[in-house]
């Protein structure tokens, strides 16, 4: 059964959608730890027609949400959620000043770093995407 991937460019909050023909179960590792977890690949998948998709390797520029064809959420990265908007609204209501989105970037960086560390050995054995 196919699934849908929403790719969010964190700098602009723009979201684009892709329909994948394969099963999420067979592709999950590719999106979470393989080549599609890297910003360089996500930039290519995000780009449309004549857009330039140049983006350095990294893991802080894009976030994804995967949904089954029948609408069930299969996977969602923290930065895709609207929790940051709720946080920013609460900070503003309290009369404080916060850098918009900084929590999202920090959380995603730490989450992805933890994933990289936990799966480094497995990725190297299976020929996963190499960052230079």
pLDDT digits (tens, 9 = 90+) for 12-58: 888 999 999 999 999 999 999 999 999 999 999 999 888 887 777 88
The pTM assigned to this predicted structure is 0.61
Nearest to 24 by CA among 54, 2, 49: 2
User: C-alpha 27: how far from its chain's center?
Assistant: 14
Taking residue 92's Cβ as centre, other Cβ atoms within 10 Å add up to 12
Question: Taking CA 34 as the corner, what is the angle to CA 100 and CA 32, rounded to the nearest 5 degrees?
Answer: 45
Residue 98 banded pLDDT, cuts 50, 70, 90: very low
- Mean pLDDT across the stretch 96-120? 50
Q: Could you tell me which residues are beta bridge partners of residue 62?
A: 9
Max avg pLDDT among 2-6, 57-61, 92-96 = 2-6
Give the whole-angstrom CA distance, residue 129 versus residue 18: 21
Q: Could you tell me which residues are beta bridge partners of residue 14?
A: 9
What ranges do the domains of the chain cover?
Answer: 3-126
Give the whole-angstrom CA distance, residue 68 versus residue 130: 29
- Mean pLDDT across the stretch 65-85? 81
């Amino acid at each position: 059964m196919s699934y849908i991937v929403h790719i969010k460019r964190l700098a602009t909050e723009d979201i684009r959608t892709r329909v994948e023909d394969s099963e999420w179960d067979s592709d999950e590792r590719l999106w979470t730890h393989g080549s599609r977890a890297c910003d360089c690949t996500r930039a290519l998948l995000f780009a449309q027609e004549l857009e330039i998709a140049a983006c350095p390797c990294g893991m802080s520029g894009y976030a994804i949400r995967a949904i089954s064809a029948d609408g069930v959420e299969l996977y969602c990265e923290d930065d895709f959620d609207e929790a940051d908007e709720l946080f920013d609204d609460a900070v503003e209501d309290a009369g404080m000043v916060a850098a918009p989105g900084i929590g999202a970037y920090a959380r995603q960086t730490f989450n992805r770093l933890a994933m990289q560390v936990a799966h480094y050995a497995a990725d190297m054995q299976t020929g996963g995407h190499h960052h230079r």
